[in-house]
Amino acid sequence: IRVSDVSKVYRVGESEVRALDSVSLSIREGDCLAIMGPSGSGKSTLMNILGCLDVPDSGQYLLRGVQVSEMDEDELAEIRNREIGFVFQMFNLLPRMSVLRNVELPLAYAGSPRRKRGAASCEALESVGLGHRLHHKPVELSGGERQRGALARALVNRPSIVLADEPTGNLDSRTGEEIIGILNALNRQGRTIVIVTHEKEIAQHASRIVRLRDGRLEG
């Protein structure tokens, strides 16, 4: 990943909020990077751009040498489905579906046959220690179990990059350490991990830390 002079401005009425201001950043394959900063510093905006959920107003974003910042919506969706797994603070599991069906969703969007979806989803849930809760709905799971389900969903397409936005924000410290342990294990297997966090204890698990303030990288 190479981000060069990326800026993003949001317009609220007649005022402008510069969420990112000429940010440049390189992330090597296999990195474990933590992005830190206070609320409003631009962390989530940068994460959304890295995850192809948003595009910059100016600057360049290269992923494996391909210019992502000029892709259309269909191309961005394909990149998200093939290359990137997302983990969010609020889990974002659909409440009416079992955790197994939640994990199957990215495969369904990718057009994978139903039989393969089930096998791959079971394997992903087993890999995060949730194989015994396949048919439970999110409301029947603890916070840590929900986040494990969200992790399994992020991993089911075997993405090269996992983006985790405050993945421990709704968890107690012990459960948070368990989730970070899973992310570190994935990193040792070769996946690139990017974690947005405001917690120093979480960021210290990363091999590299960058800090944002007022939309700019510090240091």
Q: Residue 75: CB partners within 8 Å, gap ≥ 6? A: none
Query: CA–CA separation, 119 vs 98, rounded Å?
Result: 15
Query: pLDDT tens digits, the chain, 219 residues: what are they?
Result: 999 999 999 988 888 889 999 999 999 999 999 999 988 899 989 999 999 988 899 999 999 888 987 888 888 888 888 899 998 888 889 999 999 999 999 888 888 888 889 899 999 999 999 999 999 999 999 999 999 999 999 999 999 999 999 888 888 888 889 899 999 999 999 999 999 998 898 899 999 999 999 999 985
- Residue 41 DSSP symbol: S
Q: Provide the token pair at 205.
A: 């698990």
Q: Residue 54: CB partners within 8 Å, gap ≥ 6? A: 8, 45, 48
User: What is the sign, positive or negative, of the torsion defined by CA atoms of 164, 182, 197, 149?
Assistant: positive
- Residue 100 DSSP symbol: H
Query: CA–CA separation, 137 vs 93, rounded Å?
Result: 9
**pTM of the entire structure?**
0.89
Report the length, in residues, of the chain.
219
Q: Provide the token pair at 65.
A: 């040498």
* 35 strand-pairing partners: 196, 210
Query: CA–CA separation, 181 vs 175, rounded Å?
Result: 10
